Structure 1
Amino acid sequence: MNCAGKVFVVTGGGAGIGRATVLELIRRGARVAAVDLNAEGLQETADEAEAGKNLSLHALNITDRDAVLALPLEVTEALGPADGLINVAGIIQPFIHVEDLKFEQMEHVVDVNFWGTVNVVKAFLPGLKSRSEASLVNVSSMGALLPVPGQSFYGASKAAVRLLTEGLYAELLDTSVTVTEVFPGAVATEITKNSGVETSDHGGDTSRATSPEEAGRVIADAIERKRFRVMIGNDARLFDILSRVAPKRGITMIAKKMKDLVTARAKEVGI
């Protein structure tokens, strides 16, 4: 699928991977509707894109189902019918164990990561199926391949996104819609801050993390090549291999590596 001339909707377009994906698609000649809860972040994306009428901004909460269901018409009026949907928006949990998470914290993660994705998919899928070719991309996480202690519930929500995406792939095999699932590893974004998770060092060293720009390029390439499954970063590729070859060993290795970090986070929040 050639991105040039196509209309894409990107959630989480106000920062991080979402913003980078918006900018990459614009660079490839697409028209993009950027969706985000943060209106200021969306404006920063627009300032960087300098895309004029090829970019529309939509400040809304993807957990607001009525607002999301009204979005396809808004996008059509601004840019034309959507040819592609990229669900990037998501949040992490505090870096603590599931037993220490409050129910409202867990519910918020599921509302954004899973139900938010469901809302947007349900809103745009009928229109995508009417296009001669279309793309549906859902961003999961390497945490959906193997659990990361301190992010177990986040990983569970992203695993739900993974299975939803694979189910959609099966259901849409005989349609014009290509379905892609994306598993990013560590990407140098501000997801910790944007998720409202307070830490002294924003979750650790990001010097080895994949850049958002690289993540955006990988996603755009996956759309153009009609790929089903995409890993972003060597860490995600390692998680993928371990999850299939030696899952128990992989889980144990990650747990040992994360033990000190989770203990430190628990102390920060007084647990």
Structure 2
Amino acid sequence: MAHGTVVNGRTAVVTGAASGIGRALAQRLAANGCPVALCDWDQEGLEETAAAISGPVLTRRLDVSDRHGQMAFAAEVKEWAPAPIGLVANNAGVTVSQTAADAAVEDDEWVLNINFWGVVHGTRAFLPILLAQGDGAIVNVSSVFGLIGFPTQSAYCASKFAVRGYTESLRHELRDTRVRAITVHPGGIKTNIVKNARFHVDDQGNRDHGAMADEFARIARTSPASAAKTIHTGVEKGKDRILIGPDAAVISLLSRAAPVRYFDVMERAMGLVRR
């Protein structure tokens, strides 16, 4: 039987905290009494997040794909933490839009190193601390693109499927402990991930990055604050998989109902949306 994790009042760790879901989650947890340890490569954005938090906060500029940097950050958090760690959210993520046939290897490696290895390094760095204290939650952010494949998102989908598989395997390893491994699958969230993406071509064959970012902004319906609330309450309620947004629920259902033909359905729906 699933059990929840006590989050409020305990230390929380959030990667990718300079913007988007990471910033909203950090602010929400801090507002609920959590000392927060935050990292991101974007120093300016990270400082803006910290400035909006009134409680205890630790910030570090960190490339999550740096294994040694993650281990050093975990050691620092362990020494600093005013309370036991309740939650570690491996949230940092990036994407590239390009076809698999014409993909730049450097772009694929950039996405996989941050989205997948960043999650692995963060898990390995903090899991021993949670096991030693006897409880806590590792919260790894996948995507709806960890449930389905999508044209021009092969590297991103690969990374998010990998996060899902890694975290679900870890969940089974932890079944006899009170440490939990949770996957999060956001749908379209109003963040800058598409605006900040490396871009070559979109799924329609267009080469206008701005147009792709504008379309995503129109389609994405869920706010980062709403996403943060869903994650927070989901962890507390003992959920092992957290879907964010009505589009995530639909895509999850569609991927099971039509595991091979789901994109045909999606393509027709997207055509209606674009019109």
The TM-score normalised by the length of structure 1 is 0.89
- Give the deviation of 1:256 after TM superposition: 5.3
Q: Is the Cα–Cα contact under 8 Å of residues 131 and 176 in structure 1 kept in the other structure?
A: no
For residues 189 and 74 of structure 1, what CA distance do their matches in structure 2 show? 29
Alignment of structure 1 residues 122-137 onto 2, 5 Å: 122-137=124-139
Q: Is the Cα–Cα contact under 8 Å of residues 115 and 160 in structure 2 kept in the other structure?
A: yes
DSSP-derived class of the 1:199 partner: helix
Percent identity for Structure 1 against Structure 2 = 37
Match of 2:203 in 1: none
DSSP-derived class of the 1:70 partner: helix
Write out per-residue CA displacement over residues 100-123 of structure 1, whole angstroms, 9 at most, x where no aligned residue: 211111111111111111111111
Structure 2: runs of 5 or more not aligned: 200-208
2:151 to 149, 152, 168: 149
Match of 1:222 in 2: 234
2:196 to 194, 202, 216: 194
For residues 257 and 124 of structure 1, what CA distance do their matches in structure 2 show? 41
2:91 to 66, 88, 92: 88
Write out per-residue CA displacement over residues 208-267 of structure 1, whole angstroms, 9 at most, x where no aligned residue: 5200000000011111112101110111111100111112231222345668xxxxxxxx
For residues 196 and 80 of structure 2, what CA distance do their matches in structure 1 show? 27
For residues 51 and 239 of structure 2, what CA distance do their matches in structure 1 show? 31
For residues 65 and 179 of structure 1, what CA distance do their matches in structure 2 show? 20
Write out per-residue CA displacement over residues 173-231 of structure 1, whole angstroms, 9 at most, x where no aligned residue: 11120221110000000112333444345151434520000000001111111210111
- Residue 255 and residue 152 in structure 1: after superposition, are their counterparts in 2 closer, same or farther (change >3 A)? farther
Q: Is the Cα–Cα contact under 8 Å of residues 144 and 187 in structure 2 kept in the other structure?
A: yes
For residues 127 and 59 of structure 1, what CA distance do their matches in structure 2 show? 21
- Residue 101 and residue 258 in structure 1: after superposition, are their counterparts in 2 closer, same or farther (change >3 A)? farther
DSSP-derived class of the 1:223 partner: helix
The yes-or-no answer on 1:172 pairing with 2:174 is: yes
- Give the deviation of 1:133 after TM superposition: 2.0
Code of the residue aligned with 1:202 in structure 2: it is A
Match of 2:215 in 1: 204
Match of 1:7 in 2: 11
**Which stretches of structure 1, 4 residues or more, deviate above 4 A after TM superposition?**
255-259
Aligned Cα root-mean-square deviation (Å): 2.0
Match of 2:264 in 1: 252
The TM-score normalised by the length of structure 2 is 0.88
Match of 2:206 in 1: none
In the comparison of the two structures, how many residue pairs are matched? 258
- Give the deviation of 1:129 after TM superposition: 0.7
Match of 1:34 in 2: 38
The yes-or-no answer on 1:233 pairing with 2:245 is: yes
